[in-house]
Structure 1
Amino acid sequence: MPTLYQTFLKHDIGHLRIVADLWGLELESQDLDSAAEELSASLLDLEAVTETIDILSPEARAALDAILAGNGKMEWAAFTRAHGDIRGMGAAKRDRERPHLKPSSPAEHLFYRGLLAKAFFDSSKGSQEFAYIPDDLLEVIEMLAAEETDDQQPSAAPRGEPIGRPATPVEKAFEIPATDHILDDATTHLAALRIGDESKAHLKHGLQELLTASNLIKKDTLQPEAVKAFLGASRVEALNILYKAWFESNIFDELRLIPGIICEGEWSNQPQVTREFLMNLVNDIPQDKWWSLPAFLRDIKTKYPDFQRPAGDYDSWFIKRESDGQYLRGFAYWDQVDGALVKYFIQTLHWLGKVDLASPEEGKEFSAFRVNGLKVEGLKVEGKIIVSSNGRITISRFFSRAVRYQLARFCEWDEEKGGEYIYHVSAQSLKHANEQGLKAEQLLALLVKYTNGNVPPALVKALKRWDTNGIEARVESLLLLRVTKPEIMEEIRKSKAGKYLGEVLSPTAVIVKSGAIQKVMAELAELGLLAEVKE
């Protein structure tokens, strides 16, 4: 950081005279360079520094301590939010209004005493503006702090000390344990994409993005080798595949997935850097201990408010509330954007089986979390498959996900019930499978293999006949025109209505072509026949 001399050279000599006056000094030099050198030497006197700091207001002392806690510098945006800004004014206005006599903030109090300056420095987030204490003055202040016997100077929190507090009994009243259901949801989603029916895809928020980050999907297209490896992995391995892909991903962006807000414009953020920072905070929390979400959010807002914002910028990101279109710009909306991101981050950890959640009561938003991690190794992983003679197939979620993925391509999908996936074989599903190059004999081979030959004879017969003969029976819903006498039917068939009639079922009954009922009714009226329509 710059020294006092380098810092003073950025100001006019009038500013230096104000600093000297507040320290009880009188500058003899008349040019800026000499005055900066003279004042710098005077301000580095140990006794003078002690006296100046001792008479600071409590608010100004707190502001100075905040910079000291950051090793002599602090992001300007964060500093001004907590300790006020410095009014911008030229030399003439400054000399006329004399702001140093009535500072508007602790920041101004320190600024006009030479204890505070601001400049741009390089950081992990790029070039950012910082509040800082000149380097040589910082050494003197730290020397004084080391000599003090009391504990007046607050220090930075010890590394690894958790922020927030343990959850109260109310906050953790209703527990929501972590699960590995994401593996089953992913299997369903991948199978839906494989058969080309996105209406069957699992709609869990962010799942498509997670599978893309895991390289299972690319540009909405399945990646066969990656999908095969994922479905063939054990549940422990598969969960780790998803977690590792999420944690290392630069394309899975929690900020843009938060429900209820919309991100617009060309600005960019750093999801992986943000994720790593938040993960470090979570890892500091004691394992197996319920932790308060409100307290965790409060401490992040107080200590690390700009955790995802380069240079503390709350204005250039265009984020609006979906419900009313209100733009959420400025630090005033921290809870709705940055706080919501922290909450979504913890929900994602829960989704990935790493964190348990709890709420005051069932149905309420979660208010506590526990870094526990799903004990996947302890889960019962033996599943079963049951095949009925009517073509119904029931598969436990613990059965091979690769097998369920394959069977789903041949079947109609029914509702999941109690951890079991239910499918049924139909003429339509086999026809759709055939269009994808699949044969009924392949389905039969799968069922025989994974049920140890326990496939009902009726279904075996049906699948074999299908491969040989295709559709042998059809059930249709038809419109039927029925009259009382054959002569009336003959008259209708010779009229204009005849072109709307199909197969004759009897002398007094005929099928009406699809969509033609109104036209037939109109032609019958022209013939003087008023027909009754029965649903």
Structure 2
Amino acid sequence: MMPDLQQRLRPTDLDFLQRIARAWNLELSAQSFTEALSEMAAGMLDPELFAEIIDALPAEPAKAWNYLLTHQGKDTWSAFSREFGDLRPFGLAKRSREEPDLHPANASEFLWYRGLIGRAFLNLTGTPQEYAFIPDEFLAFSPAPAQAISESLLPRPASEAEKKIPVPADDAVLDDITELLASLRMNRQVLTEEENVPRRAYQAFLLNLLAEKGIITPTHLPNPEQVKEFLSLPRGEALLALFAAWRSSQKINDLRMLPGLSCEGNWQNDPRSPRELLLQIVSTVSSTSWWSIPSLLSQIKTHRPDFQRPAGDYDSWFILEQKSHEYLRGFTNWDKIDGALLRYLLVGPLHWLGVLDLARAERPASPLSFRLSPLGAALLKNEAPQHVRSENGSVTLLNNGTLLLNRDVPRPLRYQIARFCSPVTDEKKPGKYRLTAESLAQASEQGLRPTQLLQILQLAHVKSIPQSISEALDRWEKYGSEILFEPVTLLRLDKPELLPMLQKNPHISRYFGEVLNNKTVILKPGSANALQQSLAELGLLAQVKISKDV
């Protein structure tokens, strides 16, 4: 509830009430403020008179009035005043001299000096913020517009260039999560190198999502029972579970995951507000059309810039831009923080979770438009999507130990194979794995045996298991690793009589590893430069030919 009319008028004075009475064409006979307050409130609550006042509003004040109605009768004062103007400070003498009720500077002053809006600190979200509001009684007289989202927030349709190259949404996130869970179970590194920022952001998002669902612990250890339960869900239900968890989560803080920014300090933000704003807009626009992302960001910046800022505060959050090493404060940095967050949500989580199709002007440029996908239409209704892939794909095992997994391979099978094999990055052939000594060693550390992989492949109805692979797995189970590749640095001597002389010198021999023959020695790792200097002290100049890769 908003403050009522008397609460709105009580902080004023008798002169202020008399000016409102003049605007409403009311006779105010009371001489004291208390009596005038009651008399004024009674007159203003006449439904017919109120309707006349609203119908007579000029265009801009009417726009401001309807704006508040579309926001359930309130909005932060910073957002409202940025759109419709601020109130000039007036004492009694200055007010009498300049008469702002007769000469308002903007729509805000017009409504203010007619008593139609108030301004107060309200604790509506757990944090007191200054709001512009419509008194409760006036709200009861004024039905809110049917449309929840103001048209001022809606983007324009995308241009032909902005939708030139579509990037359809899909449910691939389920397969990516399956492979990620297997990697976590095998203690493999899951975050890519620092320079691959988009992939790193995606992996970080998935880790946070899995932790939110309780599928992994906060330290990224899989919970076996939860993993099994999640992988057994039908694809549509699994996708809905992920979307619902992200949508309602306060722990997954999208702002603190923005690439290029570091959020410092103990300040709090509500990560759900930006998500809900975008989802309301996406639900409002036509799902058959493409919509411009730059236009959407511009509309929100103009008409709802404080969508995540308590009381329009742009100074109390400590956010460091990593590139410039500067703290981003003030509304001038809206694009780098608030705008960047909205873009991240559109082209990141909402696309990764299958809600939005994207399109770009050219490869590999950033997406410029979006459209609600068939998957997203179901998810926004809290329904499990039907437009998901079936899980009846096949596995092909090559005689060199490479496994090719069709995109439709069941997730439990994909998970088991990924525990025995190392994933191979191949954009042309996704779902590619390789059976290696290292992957089998990792599997062995988890108590897995090679014969179990053969059983899994047989249950998966692999067309044929090459004899060479069966033999390799059998030998591994019996003998472990029998062949080792490793880079070494060799010391080659021109004359065999040099070796005994060098071995007798402790300053030289301390760098020796395995002696292969009377003219060749394997050096200890990283010792070549030091050995070269020690040899020079003996009057022996050594030529160095070492590859940068060794």
Q: TM-score range by the shorter chain?
A: 0.7 to 0.9
* 1:39 to partner: Cα distance: 4.4
Match of 1:257 in 2: 257
Question: In the alignment, which residue of structure 1 is the partner of 2:444?
Answer: 434
Structure 2 match to 1:245? 245
CA RMSD between the two structures: 4.0
Q: Distance in 2 between matches of 1:430 and 1:51?
A: 82
**CA drift at 1:240:** 2.8
- Report the Cα offset of residue 176 of structure 1: 1.1
1:395 is matched with 405
Q: For the structure 1 residues 118 and 388, does the alpha-carbon distance in structure 2 shift closer, same or farther, using more than 3 Å as the test? A: closer
Matches within 5 A, 1:46-195: 59-64=60-65, 66-67=67-68, 74-91=75-92, 94=95, 99-100=100-101, 102-121=103-122, 123=124, 128-133=129-134, 156=145, 158=147, 163-195=154-186
Between the aligned partners of 2:294 and 2:468, the Cα distance in structure 1 is 60
Q: For each residue in 1:209-241, what CA deviation from the matched residue of structure 2 results, as whole angstroms up to 9, or x when unmatched?
A: 222223222212211112222334443343233
Compared with structure 1, are the counterparts of its residues 135 and 421 closer, same or farther at alpha carbon in structure 2 (3 Å cutoff)? closer
Shift in Å, 1:17: 4.2
The residue type paired with residue 208 of structure 1 is L
Q: Match for residue 212 of structure 1?
A: 211
Q: Is the alpha carbon distance of 1:126 and 1:426 closer, same or farther for their aligned partners in structure 2, counting shifts above 3 Å? A: closer
Cα shift at 1:196? 1.3
8 Å contact from structure 2 (residues 402, 434) kept in 1: yes
CA distance in 2, matches of 1:134, 1:14: 20
User: Secondary structure in 2 aligned to 1:408?
Assistant: helix
- Relative to structure 1, the CA distance from residue 525 to residue 266 in structure 2 (aligned partners, 3 Å threshold; closer, same or farther) is closer
* Stretch of structure 1 that moved more, 80-89 or 47-56: 47-56
Aligned 8 A contact 2:374 2:387 in 1: no
Give the 3 Å change call, closer, same or farther, for CA 463–277 of structure 1 in structure 2. Answer: same
For residues 64 and 498 of structure 1, the distance between their equivalents in structure 2, rounded to whole angstroms, comes to 89
Shift of 1:349: 2.0
CA deviation after TM superposition for structure 1 residue 387, in Å: 2.6
| Equivalent residue, structure 2, for 1:203 | 200
C-alpha displacement of 1:268: 2.0
Q: Match of 2:370, as an amino acid?
A: F
Secondary structure of the structure 1 residue equivalent to 2:431: strand
Distance 2:15 2:72 in 1: 29
Cα distance in 2 for residues equivalent to 1:51 and 1:447: 79
For the residue of structure 2 that corresponds to 1:217, the secondary structure is: coil
1:438 aligned partner, one-letter code: L
Distance (whole Å) between structure 2 residues aligned to residue 422 and residue 68 of structure 1: 55
Q: How does 1:317-328 map to 2 (within 5 A)?
A: 317-325=317-325, 327-328=327-328
Shift of 1:190: 1.8
| Separation in 1, partners of 2:84, 2:525 | 77
Distance of 2:434 and 2:444 partners within structure 1: 16
Q: What is the rounded CA distance, in whole Å, between the counterparts of 1:224 and 1:100 in structure 2?
A: 69
For the 8 Å contact 2:67–2:150, the answer to whether it is kept is no
1:415 paired with 2:412, answer no
Asked whether the equivalents of residues 394 and 462 of structure 2 are also in contact (C-alpha less than 8 Å), the reply is no
Deviations 1:62-100 (A, max 9, x none): 444545666765543333222222233444555566655
Does the residue aligned with 2:200 lie in a helix, a strand or coil? Answer: coil
Equivalent residue letter for 1:209: N
**Bigger-Rg structure (1/2):** 1
State the distance in 1 between where 2:535 and 2:337 align.
67
Q: Which residue of 1 aligns with 2:32?
A: 31
Letter in 2 for 1:119: A
2:368 corresponds to which residue? 367
- What corresponds to 1:271 in structure 2? 271
What secondary structure does 2:366 align onto? coil
CA distance in 2, matches of 1:133, 1:204: 42
CA shift digits 1:158-185 (9 cap, x unpaired): 4589744443333322211112222232
Note closer, same or farther for the CA distance 1:377–1:491 as it changes in structure 2 (3 Å cut). same
- Tell me if the contact between 2:23 and 2:114 (Cα under 8 Å) persists in the aligned partners: yes
| SS of corresponding position for 1:270 | coil
The SS at the match of 1:393 is strand
Query: What is the CA distance between 1:18 and its match in structure 2?
Result: 4.3
Q: How far does the alpha carbon of each residue in 1:140-165 deviate from its partner, in whole angstroms, 9 at most, with x for none?
A: x86xxx9xxxxxxxx83545897444
Render the CA deviation track for 1:389-408: whole Å, top value 9, x for unaligned: 33333333332333333333
Q: Taking structure 1 as reference, are residues 98 and 326 closer, same or farther at Cα in structure 2, changes over 3 Å only?
A: farther
Give the Cα separation in 2 of the matches to 1:37 and 1:115: 16
Give 2:211's aligned amino acid.
T
| Partner residue in 2 for 1:151 | none
Paired with 2:520 and 2:70, the residues of 1 have a C-alpha distance of 94
| SS of residue in 1 equivalent to 2:89 | coil
1:406 maps to what in 2? Answer: 416
Residue in 1 aligned with 2:469?
459
- Identity over aligned pairs, percent: 41
**1:345 and 2:342 aligned:** no
Matched letter for residue 13 of structure 2: D
- Structure 1 unaligned blocks of 5 or more: 147-154
Structure 2: how far apart are the matches of 1:29 and 1:415? 83
